[in-house]
């Protein structure tokens, strides 16, 4: 417990609990703390997600995680994060300021954006994005034929393909699976027995349990432009 008690015990200093508030991957204070349910080690979500996606194990103790659904063993740790923010209020304030400032500039117009893109090092720090569950992520979802991602049974003209480009603004916590469901309904291919609908980033199919923020973390997406996803629909091979 970190609250002071009736017998006059005071709060522990940051130093006392520091090691529990630090992410062992980036050595910084935890941001968007995420705990591996197998071993209870905690990391920043942006640190643990790319590691787990690639190695299917804990970055600290290497406990093996499911190779098919490693993300099912990650839990957002709101309690731990609130402790970090309580103990290191400056961190919470910085993070909120950073987001506010970034979003103001993001929507202030392209010219301002271009000036600021010139200093690439500052940009990298500035744009290192962390997402709270309800932070909006803009996505641009395009039909897969344009990227030559695979042969489809749907052959269409350019203008028809254009119609298949969709812009969304979704909460960072939205699972890819929900997007799949939405597109299945939209294009009337709701039956997985007849059609496969995949969502891809840079040609890589995304697991339905990935959240948009996970995709951003895994592929180091910066908020400069909408997250560009592709979808492809193919008949299910019997
Ligand atoms: Zn970290
Ligand atoms: Zn571990």
Q: Residue 179 pairs with which residues in a beta bridge?
A: none
Q: Residue 4: pLDDT above 80?
A: no
Distance between Cα 31 and ligand 2 center (Å): 18
**Mean pLDDT over the full length of the chain:** 76
DSSP state of 221: -
What are the beta bridge partners of residue 235?
195
Tokens of 109: 């117009």
User: Mind listing the pLDDT tens digit for each residue in 107-146?
Assistant: 555 444 444 433 333 333 333 456 777 888 899 988 865 4
Q: Which ligand is nearest to the CA of 63?
A: 2
Res 157: pLDDT? 47
Phi-psi region at 87: left, alpha or beta (left = phi > 0; alpha = psi -120 to 50)? alpha
- Strands 227-235, 195-201: pairing kind: antiparallel
Q: What is the ipTM of this complex?
A: 0.92
Map out the domains of the chain with their CATH numbers: 14-86 (3.30.40.10), 94-127 (no CATH), 136-235 (3.10.20.90)
Query: How does pLDDT run across 166-191, given as a tens digit for each residue?
Result: 888 999 889 999 999 999 998 899 99
Closest ligand to Cα 55 = 2
Rounded to the nearest whole angstrom, what is the distance from the C-alpha of residue 68 to the centroid of ligand 2? Answer: 18
Per the model's pLDDT, the better-predicted residue between 16 and 184 turns out to be 184
Ligand 1 centroid distance, CA of 96 (Å):
17
Quote the pLDDT of residue 194. Answer: 92
Nearest ligand (C-alpha, residue 42): 2
Of 102, 93, 103, 139, give the one whose Cα is nearest residue 123: 102
Which comes out higher in pLDDT, residue 7 or 132? 132
Q: Let me know: does 197 contact 163? Beta carbons within 8 Å.
A: no
% of the chain with per-residue pLDDT over 70: 68
Q: State the pLDDT at residue 1.
A: 42
Residue closest to 74 by CA, chosen among 82, 63, 83, 85: 63
Ligand 2 centre to CA of 89 (Å) is 27
Residue 27 pLDDT grade (very low, low, confident, very high; cuts 50, 70, 90): confident
At 143 the three-state DSSP class reads: strand
* Helix (H) or strand (E) segment spanning residue 162: helix 158-163
**Ligand 2: centre distance to CA 96 (Å):** 29
What pLDDT sits at residue 70? Answer: 85
> Which of the ligands is closest to the CA of residue 25?
1
Q: Once rounded to an integer, what is the mean pLDDT over residues 191-215?
A: 90
What is the sign, positive or negative, of the torsion defined by CA atoms of 112, 114, 120, 125?
A: positive
């Amino acid at each position: 417990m970190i609250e002071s008690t009736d017998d006059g015990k005071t709060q522990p200093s940051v130093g006392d609990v520091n090691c529990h508030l630090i992410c062992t991957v980036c050595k910084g204070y935890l941001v968007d703390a995420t705990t591996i349910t197998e071993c209870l080690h905690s990391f920043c979500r942006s640190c643990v997600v790319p590691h787990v996606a690639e190695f299917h194990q804990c970055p600290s103790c290497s406990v093996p995680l499911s190779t098919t659904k490693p993300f099912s063993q990650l839990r957002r740790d709101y309690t731990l994060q609130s402790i970090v923010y309580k103990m290191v209020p400056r961190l919470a304030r910085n993070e909120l300021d950073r987001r506010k400032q970034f979003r103001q500039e993001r929507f202030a117009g392209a010219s301002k954006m271009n000036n600021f893109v010139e200093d690439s090092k500052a940009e990298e720090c500035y744009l290192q994005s962390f997402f709270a569950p309800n932070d909006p992520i803009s996505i641009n979802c395009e039909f897969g034929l344009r990227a030559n991602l695979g042969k489809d049974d749907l052959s269409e003209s350019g203008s028809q393909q254009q119609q298949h480009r969709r812009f969304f603004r979704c909460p960072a916590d939205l699972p890819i699976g929900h997007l799949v469901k939405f597109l299945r309904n939209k294009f009337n291919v709701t039956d997985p027995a007849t059609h496969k609908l995949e969502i891809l980033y840079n040609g890589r199919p995304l697991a339905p349990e990935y959240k948009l923020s996970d995709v951003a973390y895994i592929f180091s997406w910066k908020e400069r432009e909408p997250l560009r996803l592709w979808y492809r629909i193919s008949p299910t091979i019997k």
